[in-house]
Amino acid sequence: MPSSSAARATDVLVRPVSLGSLTVRNRIAMAPMTREFSPGGVPGADVAEYYARRAAGGVGLIISEGTYVGHASAGTSDRVPRFHGEDALAGWAGVADAVHRAGGAIVPQLWHVGMARAVGAPPVPDAPRIGPSGVPLDDSEPGRTMTRADLDEVISAFAAGAAAAEANGFDGIELHGAHGYLIDQFLWAHTNRRTDAYGGDALSRTRFAAEIVAACRRAVSPDFPIIFRMSQWKMGDYRARLAETPQELEAVLDPLAEAGVDAFHCSTRRYWLPEFDGSDLNLAGWAKKLTGRATISVGSVGLDNEFLKTFQGQGSGVAAIDGLLDRLERDEFDLVAVGRALLGDPEWVTKILNGRTDELTPFGAEALARLH
């Protein structure tokens, strides 16, 4: 018989949730994690098996690793998958089919790195680094400020990716608007110094993202789910913030919700930390309260340290999820995305639900070196 803690986990986690036309079988998502196991940008059978293994292990919604949209400056590696071109899309169709056969749902994360692109990097070495104002996130050289034509091309690339996702059997899309990549570079005042309609106050800085959402919404069925991933922190600046108050956060999120976002995926480094003074709500909790849209929380779920330790070659021990269950029980947010815990143990969900926590495989940095 399952333990009382396992029974509680089942009661809380095994509840269906709707995102547009999609019904997710439970409250667990797989967080997007860049793996770089797609040579030439084409995901193969090993990638399909990797995602299907997590679906078979009980994950309700797979959010794929970031995958480049069809724009020359979108990427910075020829081993990160792309979401354009006949060969890559055929590979992704195989991934979607494998996940569905394993009982899960899957959305691709559509991505443009913007100024995070390395000079001369593949997959298009001579493509320029571009951004809202050409401002780098670190001490690297400046890039090119995007023109109106650049904006239109990138918006069209995201819309084409959305249409391709629906045409190739995916259950929705996620737009990567977090961590200091292109969409987020427009949202963040530090990298957006524009003086036209796409820069200035929060509403103007949100315009580019909202136009991408609206273009994607037009490109797919009316109830095809659109998830928007956002964060306060950036890959090079963990103290960065888009919003210092709930009101400032609302100014960013409302235009996106109105443009057609069904759910906000709110990336934090530790899901249990409150976002603003005076409330225990985390970022996902605030996004749900302010917009009324579904939200996904994330951040060191099931682990005893945060992901930054991974970059230092450290693994993580197993941690209890009672605090997570408390938040889900009171519907602070609707789903929780699990990252490294699922890299360490593809059966993490099944083991949690069946009280087999003593059998959980801890995450070790060696998990990043292979697809399993």
Task: Judge contact between 283 and 266, C-beta under 8 A.
Answer: yes
**C-alpha Rg value of the chain to the nearest Å:** 19
Among the listed residues 51, 181, 198, 271, the single catalytic one is 181
Q: What is the Cα–Cα distance from 29 to 337, expressed in whole angstroms?
A: 4
Please indicate whether residue 238 is annotated as part of the active site: no
Name the amino acid, one letter, at 75.
G
The closest alpha carbon to 153, from 215, 86, 230, belongs to 215
The closest alpha carbon to 283, from 301, 308, 265, belongs to 265
Kindly list the distances between the CA atom of residue 159 and the CA atoms of 69, 187, 219, in Å, as whole numbers in the listed order. Answer: 9, 19, 6
Q: Catalytic positions, please?
A: 181
